[in-house]
Structure formats: C-alpha cells, structure tokens
C-alpha cells in the first residue's frame, strides 16, 4: 500500500495540459471541438530541423550525452544570445533540459526551498505556483490589472519584498496575457533587483513572437553585472514549433548552472541527444521560418481580437506578444447561457466546452478570475468557426 507524499499531494495537474486532454477525449468520441486551450503552435517543425535530427540519428548520435547538453548546442545557444542581444556568457553557463518547464523546475530546485519565498506577478502561467511549491518554498502573488497592461511595476515589486524573498519570476512576453514589458519598465524593475539583491528567473520563451512595435528584452542584459542575479529561461518549443522535441535551456551564473546540472544528472540525465542536434539546426539555420510563423500569429491576433471585441459583453485587450488572447467575461457572471448557470471563469469555460464545444482555459487557473484565455495557435478557419460558436453560446 502506498500513501501519497506531501509534495505530490500538494501538486495540481497542469490546467493547460488538462484542458488539452479534455479536447482530445471529446475528439476521440467523434465530437468536433474548437480547441483554443493549449499554447502549442499548429505548424509542423520546419524541414531543415527535422533533417538535422534524422542526420543525427544516422550519424550515431543516439547515445547518452553530457548531462547538461552537448558543448556544440551550448555553444550555439551562446552564439544566438550574442547575435540577438549582445549578451555574452560562457557556454558552460548554459544547461539544456527537457523543455523550458524542466528548466524552470531545475532553476527553482537549485535556488529555493523551505522557508524561502518567490514573488510571482499575476496573471501568471499555471505551472509557476506548483513548481515553486514542489521545492517546499512558498509563493507570494502580486496582482496586476488590465489597466496597467497586466504588468507589475517596480514599486509593486519593491513593496512585495520581505526578508524571506529569494526570487521574482518574470515572463515577458507573457502567458496568459501576451503582455510585453517595455525596456524602461524592465529597467526600473532591474534597479529594484540590483538594490535588493533579489534573484530573478526571467522566462523569455515567447521572445521571438512579438507584434507591431513591441520588442522583447533580455532582462539579464539591462544593467552591468545584472546577469549574476538572473537565470534566463527559454527554448525552441514556441518559436520553432518544436513542443514535442522537449528542448529548453537556462543561462545562469556558473555556480547555479552547476547546481542545476547536478539536479538534472540525478533526475533525468541528458535531454534527448537527437533533439539537441535538431536545436542546433534551429538556432544556427535560416531564421525565415520564425518570421513566417510570427507574421501568421500576428494576423491571427488581429482576427481574434477584432472578433472577440465585437461580441457583446466581451473585452479583449490587444496582446503584444505570444499567442494568447486573455479576455474579460465578467459581464456574463450571474447569467444563464444554454441552460448553464455562469458564476465564474471555470463555469463559463466548462459550459462553453459542454454546449458549443469551444475549449478555453479559465482565468482563475492563471490567478485572474473574470477572464478566459484563448490560444490562437490554431488556423484562421478554426478561429472563425470557434468564435461563431462562442457568439452563439453568449446569446444564451
């Protein structure tokens, strides 16, 4: 007989993955589902990346590698940052893991534990809170508002810091809101971080998916020496449509990378050798594929926001990055839609799924009641059909 450990018993299943699984289940039952739940590009991985993986297999790169990743990939990552942001570091400061989610886990496991507090601005990506909790540390949420563009100010950060605060988690462009902090907003936050010696985990996984005049900023580069206080997380899942390859990385001060490497060497050993070679091709190869996908996401953003804002009672701020629309649905709370009583974002999303088969993720999963998230990493045809269904749902 087993009992479940305190750590595992405290972990919630990922709400985004659970929503994706629900859609999959309905599809296997033969139902048509308009699935806007998962943040997963619908594009196939570009061919030159797949070719590099195939070549790696034929060349015999099918064995264990160094636990932190092959030097060629760590070098390719260092070159990419130098080229993109002028950010220079040693390839030995890079650790490659099984997706950015795993990098986040390793970063937290290496730096916080019981008695420590991690600051998380809300709305936040569902996994942050559980990943912190799994280390035994606690988290402190800093609420932001739609009026502030869902961005935490430097003053809010400063006010949230206590003697137990070890880290703040930043995510720009952000999931679920698509908010992109400006350089000056991040500089103000960087000044607080430098002054208070707080650590930062900066999750920059959507950095290549920004729209209009918005620009992604590499937080670690904002002040001289700031990189000593920052763990930069990113990966190829979103920009190169490589979610299934499970490739993410962290760039950290050397002693932190070493600690993360020790954790990883006991936990999973190296990430997939084949995926590592594919990732070199993604980073060193022709970048035109990224721009093609980015442009399509931007067109979908305009389509989605235009259509959602035309629906009665819906208010959808325009996201500057990522591929999510995070829209306000509070006007429907207390109403009955298709015979379902709507009291909050969870009842709204489950009623939309059950009645018109539109699959969204409830805002409460991201720490923001009153909203729903729609991932537009799906075709324009699906977007149009799904929003037609949503319009029908909202008519009651």
Residue ranges in contact with ligand GLU by CB under 6 A: 14, 16-17, 38-40, 101, 125, 127, 175
Site residues (CB under 6 A) for ligand PMP, limited to 294-353: none
For residues 186 and 219, the answer to whether their CB atoms sit within 8 Å is yes
Site residues (CB under 6 A) for ligand PMP, limited to 215-244: 235, 237, 243
DSSP 8-state class, residue 235:
E
For residues 17 and 303, which CB has a smaller minimum distance to ligand GLU in the complex?
Answer: 17
Minimum Å distance from CB 242 to ligand PMP? 8
Please provide the size of the chain in residues: 396
| 324-328 sheet: strands from edge to edge | 324-328, 371-375, 361-362
Instruction: Give which of ligand GLU, ligand PMP, none residue 38 binds (C-beta under 5 to 8 Å, depending on kind).
Output: ligand GLU
335 φ, ψ (degrees, to nearest 5): -100, 170
Tell me which residue of 256, 262, 230, 260 sits closest to 248, measured CA to CA: 260
x/- map, 27-46, ligand PMP, by CB under 6 A: ------------x-------
Question: Given candidates 107, 186, 205, 216, which one binds ligand PMP under the rule CB under 6 A?
Answer: 205
Tell me how far apart the alpha carbons of residues 79 and 88 are, in angstroms, rounded to a whole number. 8
The stretch near ligand PMP (CB under 6 A) out of 27-35, 68-76, 95-103, 217-225 is 95-103
3-state class (DSSP) for residue 94: strand
Alpha carbon separation from 131 to 13, 127, 386 (Å, rounded) = 11, 6, 32
Minimum Å distance from CB 99 to ligand PMP? 3
The stretch near ligand PMP (CB under 6 A) out of 99-107, 162-170, 264-272, 328-336 is 99-107
Residue 117 in contact with ligand PMP, rule: CB under 6 A: no
CB-based contacts of 79: which residues, under 8 Å, 6+ apart? 283, 284
Residue 367 in contact with ligand PMP, rule: CB under 6 A: no
Instruction: Give which of ligand PMP, ligand GLU, none residue 248 binds (C-beta under 5 to 8 Å, depending on kind).
Output: ligand PMP
Cα diameter, the chain: 62
Question: Given candidates 34, 36, 89, 125, which one binds ligand PMP under the rule CB under 6 A?
Answer: 125
For residues 128 and 277, which CB has a smaller minimum distance to ligand GLU in the complex?
Answer: 128
Alpha carbon separation from 281 to 53, 93, 118, 222, 292 (Å, rounded) = 9, 21, 35, 29, 17
Give the interface size with ligand PMP as a residue count (CB under 6 A). 13
Sites of contact with ligand PMP (CB under 6 A): 39, 99-101, 125, 171, 175, 203, 205, 235, 237, 243, 248
């Amino acid at each position: 007989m087993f009992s479940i450990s305190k750590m595992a018993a405290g972990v919630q299943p990922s709400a985004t993955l659970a929503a994706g699984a629900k859609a999959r289940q309905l599809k296997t039952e033969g139902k048509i589902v308009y699935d806007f739940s998962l943040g997963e590009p619908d594009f196939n991985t570009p061919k030159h990346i797949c070719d590099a993986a195939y070549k790696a297999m034929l060349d015999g790169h099918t064995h264990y590698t160094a636990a932190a990743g092959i030097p060629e990939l760590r070098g390719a990552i260092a070159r990419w940052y130098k080229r993109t942001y002028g950010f220079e570091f040693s390839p030995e400061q890079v650790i490659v893991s099984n997706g950015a989610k795993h990098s986040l886990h390793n970063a937290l496991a290496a730096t916080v534990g019981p008695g420590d507090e991690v600051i998380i601005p809300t709305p936040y990506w569902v996994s942050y809170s559980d990943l912190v909790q799994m280390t035994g540390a606690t988290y402190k949420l800093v609420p932001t508002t739609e009026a502030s563009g869902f961005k935490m100010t430097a003053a809010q950060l400063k006010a949230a810091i206590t003697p137990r605060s070890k880290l703040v988690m930043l995510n720009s462009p952000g999931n679920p809101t698509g908010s992109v902090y400006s350089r000056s907003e991040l500089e103000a936050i960087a000044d607080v971080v430098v002054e208070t010696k707080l650590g930062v985990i900066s999750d920059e996984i959507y950095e290549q998916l920004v729209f209009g005049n918005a620009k992604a900023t590499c937080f670690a580069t904002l002040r001289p020496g700031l990189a000593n206080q920052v763990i930069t997380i990113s990966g190829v899942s979103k920009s190169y449509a490589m979610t299934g390859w499970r490739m993410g990385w962290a760039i950290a001060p050397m002693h932190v990378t070493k600690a993360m490497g020790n954790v990883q060497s006991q936990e999973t050993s190296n990430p997939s050798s084949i995926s590592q070679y594919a990732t070199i091709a993604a980073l060193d190869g022709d970048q035109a594929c990224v721009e093609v996908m980015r442009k399509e996401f931007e067109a979908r953003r305009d389509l989605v926001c235009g259509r959602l804002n035309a629906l009665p009672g819906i208010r959808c701020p325009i996201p500057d990055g990522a591929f999510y629309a995070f829209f306000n649905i509070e006007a429907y709370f207390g109403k009955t839609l298709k015979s379902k009583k709507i009291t909050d974002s969870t009842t709204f999303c489950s009623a939309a799924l059950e009645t018109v088969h539109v699959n969204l993720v409830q805002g409460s999963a991201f720490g923001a009641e009153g909203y729903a998230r729609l991932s537009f990493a799906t075709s324009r045809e699906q977007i149009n059909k799904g929003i037609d269904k949503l319009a029908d749902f909202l008519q009651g």
